[in-house]
């Protein structure tokens, strides 16, 4: 079996599966691939096929291409993204899909970094990509979505047809965060979703005043959402069929520790904290994560006045630990009794 067929089978059929599903799928696919010595090494879903060196491609492990993290003090704390094997993996696919103008849907349990990862990827493509970012809520109206889209595009007339296109030399990436939040109306529709579905189905939208058709060209849609529940609704398959779905894995404890250590270490170093303080950075992170784990265990024994969090609203490990680790980055070096000269 050729490498490209294996690659398509792996990622084409397995990308949307849950972690357990991917493990089972891997066993099944390894059976299919065993006659070939060209299969990926190690965990199947940690690899992609690169065509940079030509030929029939070579397997690249995502861990091999993780860039090192640089702390940038100009960035807001919540904009800092620490590259990991998983961020590199999903960034790779988001980038590829935008380049070929195909639609991609990133899902996975809450707090796995879906939003930060997709925003960062599209932002890094700003030279060739016009970014249109929207975050849906239960109250989002289809009209505001249309106004937002049209405001970013240039109107042109071609053979009597009105076209909406991105500026020359760019393609448009429409990033819609929390895409499954809009309220479901009486007859089961979600108006902003119906508008986006019409846009993809017919390659355009209707002018709200003149009622004429406007073709929209040269774009890819990136949908981001945690699974339904806690205010998130199931999206119609008529809409989701247009997307290739990727399920983001839950962040492992090792990765969490690595993410927060990298940020805290970067912060302590850039603001010249004394080595004694820099040295206990790992202990601070471990203490935060273990405190959070204890908190989760004790959620059951809460006082009766506090409602038990239901799973969708239970604070995610990543988001909550990040808030706590941010607190460690509040003091300025001058507040530190051991400030360096």
Ligand X SMILES: Nc1ncnc2c1ncn2[C@@H]1O[C@H](COP(=O)(O)OP(=O)(O)OP(=O)(O)O)[C@@H](O)[C@H]1O
Nearest distance in Å: CB 322, ligand X: 4
The Cα 15–Cα 35 span in angstroms is 23
Binding mask 42-81 for ligand X (x = CB under 6 A): ------------------------------------x-xx
Among 22, 87, 115, 142, binds Mg ion (CB under 5 A): 115
Q: From the list Mg ion, ligand X, none, pick the one residue 113 interacts with, judged by a Cβ distance below 5 to 8 Å according to partner type.
A: ligand X
Give 135 or 332: the residue with its C-beta nearer to Mg ion: 135
Residue 115 touches ligand X, criterion: CB under 6 A: yes
Contact 278, 328 (CB under 8 A): no
Query: Exposure string (b/e) for 264-283, b if CB count within 10 Å is 16 or more?
Result: bbbbbeebebeeebeeebee
Q: Are 258 and 86 in contact (CB under 8 A)?
A: no
**One residue of 3, 103, 114, 171 binding ligand X per CB under 6 A:** 114
Residues forming beta bridges with residue 225, ordered by sequence position: 107
In the bound state, the residue with its beta carbon closest to ligand X is 113
Distance from C-alpha of 46 to C-alpha of 42, rounded to nearest angstrom: 8
Mask of contacts with ligand X, 252-291, x by CB under 6 A? Answer: -------x--------------------------------
Q: Does residue 181 belong to the site contacting ligand X (CB under 6 A)?
A: no
Instruction: Quote the CA–CA distance of 329 and 321 in Å, as a whole number.
Output: 13
List the single partner that 84 binds among ligand X, Mg ion, none, CB under 5 to 8 Å by kind: ligand X
Nearer to Mg ion, 192 or 204 (CB): 192
Is residue 322 within the footprint of ligand X (CB under 6 A)? yes
**Number of chain residues interacting with ligand X (CB under 6 A):** 18
**Share in percent of the chain as helix, strand, coil (round to 5):** 45, 15, 40
Based on the shown chain and the rule CB under 6 A, indicate whether residue 103 belongs to the binding site for ligand X: no
On the CB side of 61, how many CA atoms lie within 13 Å of its CA?
6
Asked if 163 and 156 count as a contact pair (C-beta separation under 8 A), the reply is: yes
Q: CA 223 to CA 190: how far, in whole Å?
A: 15
Convert 89-98 to b/e letters by CB count within 10 Å (16 or more is b).
bbbbbbbebb
CB of 251 to ligand X, least distance (A): 6
Work out how close the CB of 225 gets to ligand X at its nearest, in angstroms, rounded to a whole number. Answer: 7
Shortest Cβ 82–Mg ion spacing (Å): 17
Strands 129-135 and 171-177: parallel
Nearer to ligand X, 60 or 66 (CB): 66
**Rounded Cα–Cα distance for residues 191 and 205 (Å):** 13
Q: Which does 261 bind (CB under 5 to 8 A by kind): ligand X, Mg ion, none?
A: none
Nearest approach in angstroms of CB 260 to ligand X is 8
Residue that is written with structure tokens 């398509």 in the block: 8
Residues that bind Mg ion (CB under 5 A): 115
Residues that bind ligand X (CB under 6 A): 78, 80-82, 84, 87, 110-116, 226, 259, 318-319, 322
């Amino acid at each position: 079996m050729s490498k490209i067929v294996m690659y398509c089978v792996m990622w084409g059929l397995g990308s949307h599966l849950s972690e357990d599903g991917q493990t089972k799928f891997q066993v099944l696919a390894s059976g299919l691939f065993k006659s070939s010595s060209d299969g990926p090494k190690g965990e199947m879903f940690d690899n992609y096929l690169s065509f940079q060196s030509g030929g029939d491609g070579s397997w690249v492990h995502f861990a091999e291409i993780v860039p090192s993290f640089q702390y940038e003090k100009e960035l807001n704390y919540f904009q800092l993204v620490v590259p990991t094997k998983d961020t590199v993996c999903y960034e790779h696919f988001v980038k590829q899909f935008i380049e070929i103008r195909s639609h991609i849907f990133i899902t996975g349990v809450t707090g796995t970094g879906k939003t930060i990862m997709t925003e960062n990827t599209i932002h890094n493509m700003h030279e060739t990509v016009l970014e249109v970012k929207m975050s849906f809520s239960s109250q989002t109206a289809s009209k505001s979505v249309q106004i937002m889209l049209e405001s970013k595009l240039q109107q042109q007339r071609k053979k009597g047809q009105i076209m909406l296109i991105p500026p020359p030399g760019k393609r448009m990436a429409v990033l819609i965060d929390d895409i499954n939040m809009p309220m479901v109306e009486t007859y089961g529709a979600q108006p902003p979703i119906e508008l986006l579905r019409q846009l993809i189905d017919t390659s355009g939208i209707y002018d709200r005043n003149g009622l004429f058709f406007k073709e929209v060209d040269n774009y890819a849609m990136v949908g981001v959402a945690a699974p339904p529940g806690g205010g998130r609704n199931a999206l119609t398959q008529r809409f989701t069929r247009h997307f290739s779905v990727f399920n983001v894995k839950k962040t492992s404890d090792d990765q969490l520790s690595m993410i927060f250590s990298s940020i805290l270490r970067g912060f302590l170093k850039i603001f010249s904290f004394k080595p004694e303080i820099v040295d206990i950075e790992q202990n601070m992170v471990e203490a935060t994560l273990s405190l959070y784990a204890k908190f989760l265990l004790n959620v059951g024994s809460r006082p009766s006045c506090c409602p038990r969090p239901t799973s969708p609203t239970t604070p995610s490990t990543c988001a909550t630990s990040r808030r706590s680790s941010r607190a460690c980055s509040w003091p300025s070096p001058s507040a530190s009794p051991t400030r360096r000269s």
